[in-house]
């Protein structure tokens, strides 16, 4: 700096004066511009650091919870909810409840880069959690994550978290709660007090400002709240079904052996192949069961990728008549024959796992025990090695008197026999 001044024939500042002017410059450059938000534009969401707790009456232990906070920066209205944990299902449910509380949906949502909602934190191309993205699309809004390590991007929610956390902590610290519901009720009471209290320097509350200037700008609510969905993968089996949560759901037979995506809710199970939905079923609960759409099955006379009833029975003949009876029973056990193919393949696998001789014997025992033998019966016989046990030999009754044992006392001892005469 001094050299530049000398080159231009200018006088330079002394060190102390230069430092003062430079400090003033850096302070001025750090001044941030206040972002003017539009009504209905944005909702900022986050988990609070505060973890309210309740006492489990059964165990006497204290259970920590999570506090979800949402705020609309324009009106500063706050929504808060106590959740069991910070898992995805509660994250989505809290959003549903926030929208219902507000009576509408903002055009954008800004979460922190927490793993519940954002799986890849990147300013230019953040990766949004799939279910969270689905929820946003369902409501017609978008997810705009805050920049990593940029708290000013979500200053409103940080302030809202601080307000609600302090109020709840102070209001609830000397009270005992015995359930999540009790804790949530107390949280909601504090929330209402915050939203209806006049803002500092104004004669209106957050709620008044929201109703008069922001609510009409929100997107309308959907008829039903978004239902949390979980995604998983599965492989289409040779019986044209996928296995999901111990139940089986049919898929068009063109997709045999393909890897598919499964989207599940409490009501439905949907199957996708390359992002195209290829099947939809009502979700099954309870005991293991099949959900089969007949249109997914191949024509009766068409070979099912080289598997059909005739081929199973031809294979069974080489293992004896009882094995044929077992497979015939399995094939006849369902009106949709393809549902039985997996059990038939199970019988075939037992021959490889054990031996032909043991399978034949196990099928023989199964046929003796039941008119409708099943794969499970045959498998249990082999597991317990009942096919290897010899039949019990019945002992014949001997009519001869048994040999005397130990010391025998005669009738004379008791005053009987000839001595009694």
Chosen domain end from 250, 269, 294: 294
- Region 221-240: mean pLDDT is 91
- Here the CATH number for the domain that contains residue 53 is 3.30.420.10
Name residue, tokens 């289409």: 236
Q: Using CB atoms within 10 Å of the CB of residue 12, give its burial: 0 to 12 exposed, 13 to 18 middle, 19+ buried.
A: middle
- Region 349-373: mean pLDDT is 92
Please, are residues 297 and 335 in contact by the beta-carbon 8 Å criterion?
no
- Residues 21 and 158 occupy one common structural domain: no
- Residues 331 and 369 occupy one common structural domain: yes
Looking at per-residue pLDDT, the higher value among 200 and 171 belongs to: 200
Phi, psi of 15 (to 5 degrees): -55, -45
In the prediction, which pLDDT does 171 show? 74
- Residues 22 and 46 occupy one common structural domain: no
Q: At 334, is the pLDDT very low, low, confident or very high (cuts 50, 70, 90)?
A: confident
How many distinct structural domains can be found in the chain? Answer: 4
Closest residue by Cα to residue 237 from 316, 276, 290, 315 = 290
Phi, psi of 378 (to 5 degrees): -65, -45
Q: Using CB atoms within 10 Å of the CB of residue 68, give its burial: 0 to 12 exposed, 13 to 18 middle, 19+ buried.
A: buried
Name residue, tokens 């005397």: 404
Q: Is residue 165 part of a domain?
A: yes
- Residues 89 and 189 occupy one common structural domain: yes
| Domain, as residue range, for 314 | 309-387
Closest residue by Cα to residue 95 from 194, 228, 207, 216 = 228
In the prediction, which pLDDT does 21 show? 78
- Residues 98 and 165 occupy one common structural domain: yes
Q: Is residue 132 part of a domain?
A: yes
- Residues 351 and 290 occupy one common structural domain: no
- Region 242-270: mean pLDDT is 93
379 vs 402: CA distance, rounded Å: 46
What is the residue-wise DSSP string for 80-128? EEEES-SSHHHHHHHHHHHHHHHTSB-SEEEE-S-TTTEEE--SSS-EE
| Share above pLDDT 70 across residues of the chain, in percent, rounded to a whole number | 81
Q: At 403, is the pLDDT very low, low, confident or very high (cuts 50, 70, 90)?
A: very low
Q: Is residue 417 part of a domain?
A: no
Structure token pair of residue 253: 């037979």
3-class secondary-structure state, position 21 = helix
Looking at per-residue pLDDT, the higher value among 405 and 58 belongs to: 58
- Region 406-414: mean pLDDT is 42
Q: At 154, is the pLDDT very low, low, confident or very high (cuts 50, 70, 90)?
A: low
- Residues 204 and 337 occupy one common structural domain: no
Closest residue by Cα to residue 348 from 364, 320, 327, 369 = 327
> Does the pLDDT of residue 341 top 70, yes or no?
yes
In the prediction, which pLDDT does 397 show? 41
> Which residues, other chains included, contact 235 with Cβ-Cβ below 8 Å and sequence gap of 6+?
242, 257, 258, 259, 260
Report how far apart, in Å, the C-alpha atoms of 50 and of each of 103, 172, 404 are. Answer: 27, 12, 87
In the prediction, which pLDDT does 200 show? 83
Q: Is residue 405 part of a domain?
A: no
Q: At 330, is the pLDDT very low, low, confident or very high (cuts 50, 70, 90)?
A: very high
In the prediction, which pLDDT does 419 show? 40
What is the residue-wise DSSP string for 209-272? HIIIIIGGGSBPPPSSPPPP-EEEEEE--TTSEEEETTEEEE--GGGTT-EEEEEE-SSEEEEE
* Cα pseudo-dihedral 181, 182, 184, 187, rounded to 10: 170
Q: Is residue 300 part of a domain?
A: no
- Residues 19 and 57 occupy one common structural domain: no
> Does the pLDDT of residue 271 top 70, yes or no?
yes
- Region 52-73: mean pLDDT is 91
In the prediction, which pLDDT does 410 show? 45
Residue pLDDT, tens place only, 175-196: 889 999 999 999 999 899 999 9
- Residues 62 and 96 occupy one common structural domain: yes
- Find the range with the poorest average confidence among 175-184, 205-214, 285-294: 285-294
Q: Is residue 202 part of a domain?
A: yes
| Share above pLDDT 90 across residues of the chain, in percent, rounded to a whole number | 48
- Region 347-368: mean pLDDT is 92
Q: At 9, is the pLDDT very low, low, confident or very high (cuts 50, 70, 90)?
A: confident
In the prediction, which pLDDT does 352 show? 87
Give the H or E element holding residue 380: helix 375-383
- Residues 371 and 261 occupy one common structural domain: no
148 vs 165: CA distance, rounded Å: 23
Mean pLDDT, the chain, rounded, equals: 82
Give the H or E element holding residue 69: strand 66-72
Q: Is residue 408 part of a domain?
A: no
In the prediction, which pLDDT does 125 show? 44
Q: Is residue 393 part of a domain?
A: no
Chosen domain end from 217, 252, 271: 217
> Does the pLDDT of residue 31 top 70, yes or no?
no
> Does the pLDDT of residue 33 top 50, yes or no?
no
- Find the range with the poorest average confidence among 30-39, 187-196, 301-310, 327-336: 301-310
In the prediction, which pLDDT does 26 show? 66
Q: At 124, is the pLDDT very low, low, confident or very high (cuts 50, 70, 90)?
A: very low
Give the H or E element holding residue 155: helix 155-172
- Region 31-40: mean pLDDT is 69
- Region 19-25: mean pLDDT is 76
- Residues 64 and 207 occupy one common structural domain: yes
Please, are residues 338 and 240 in contact by the beta-carbon 8 Å criterion?
yes
- Find the range with the poorest average confidence among 112-116, 138-142, 394-398: 394-398
In the prediction, which pLDDT does 299 show? 62
Residue pLDDT, tens place only, 370-402: 999 999 999 999 999 998 887 653 334 444 444
> Does the pLDDT of residue 414 top 70, yes or no?
no
Q: Using CB atoms within 10 Å of the CB of residue 291, give its burial: 0 to 12 exposed, 13 to 18 middle, 19+ buried.
A: middle
- Region 142-148: mean pLDDT is 77
- Residues 153 and 253 occupy one common structural domain: no
In the prediction, which pLDDT does 116 show? 56
């Amino acid at each position: 700096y001094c050299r530049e001044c000398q080159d231009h024939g200018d006088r330079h500042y002394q060190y102390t004066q230069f430092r003062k002017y430079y400090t003033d410059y850096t302070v001025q450059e750090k001044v941030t511009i206040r972002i003017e938000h539009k009504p209905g534009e944005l909702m900022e969401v986050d988990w609070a650091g505060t973890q309210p707790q309740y006492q489990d009456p059964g165990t006497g232990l204290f259970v920590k919870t999570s506090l979800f906070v949402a705020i609309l920066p324009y009106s500063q209205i706050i929504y808060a909810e106590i959740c069991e944990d910070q898992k995805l299902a509660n994250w989505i449910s809290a959003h549903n409840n926030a929208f219902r509380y507000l009576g509408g949906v903002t055009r954008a949502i800004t979460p922190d880069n927490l793993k519940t909602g954002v799986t890849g934190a990147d300013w230019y191309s953040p990766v949004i959690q799939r279910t969270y993205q689905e929820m946003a699309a369902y409501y017609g809004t978008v997810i705009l994550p805050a920049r990593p390590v940029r708290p000013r991007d979500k200053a409103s929610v940080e302030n809202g978290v601080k307000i609600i956390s302090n109020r709840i902590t102070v209001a609830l610290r000397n009270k005992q709660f015995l359930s999540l519901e009790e804790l949530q009720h107390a949280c909601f009471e504090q929330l209402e007090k915050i939203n209806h209290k006049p803002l500092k320097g104004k004669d209106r509350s957050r709620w008044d400002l929201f109703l008069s200037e922001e609510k009409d700008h929100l997107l309308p609510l959907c008829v039903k709240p978004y239902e949390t969905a979980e995604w998983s993968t599965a492989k289409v089996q040779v019986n044209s079904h996928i296995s999901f949560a111990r139940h089986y759901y049919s898929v068009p037979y063109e997709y045999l052996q393909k890897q598919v995506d499964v989207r599940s809710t409490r009501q439905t199970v949907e199957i996708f192949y390359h992002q195209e939905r290829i099947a939809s079923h009502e979700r099954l609960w309870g005991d293991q069961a099949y959900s089969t759409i007949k249109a997914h099955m191949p024509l009766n006379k068409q070979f099912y990728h080289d598997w059909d009833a005739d081929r199973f029975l031809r294979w069974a003949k080489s293992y004896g008549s009882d094995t044929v009876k077992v497979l015939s029973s399995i094939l006849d056990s369902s009106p949709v024959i393809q549902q039985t193919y997996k059990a038939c393949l199970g019988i075939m696998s037992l021959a490889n796992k054990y031996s032909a001789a043991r399978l034949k014997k196990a099928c023989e025992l199964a046929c003796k025990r039941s008119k409708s033998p099943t794969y499970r019966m045959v498998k249990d016989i082999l597991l317990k090695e009942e096919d290897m046990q010899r039949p019990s030999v019945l002992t014949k009754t001997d009519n001869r008197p048994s040999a005397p044992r130990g010391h025998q006392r005669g009738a004379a001892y008791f005053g009987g026999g000839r001595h009694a005469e």
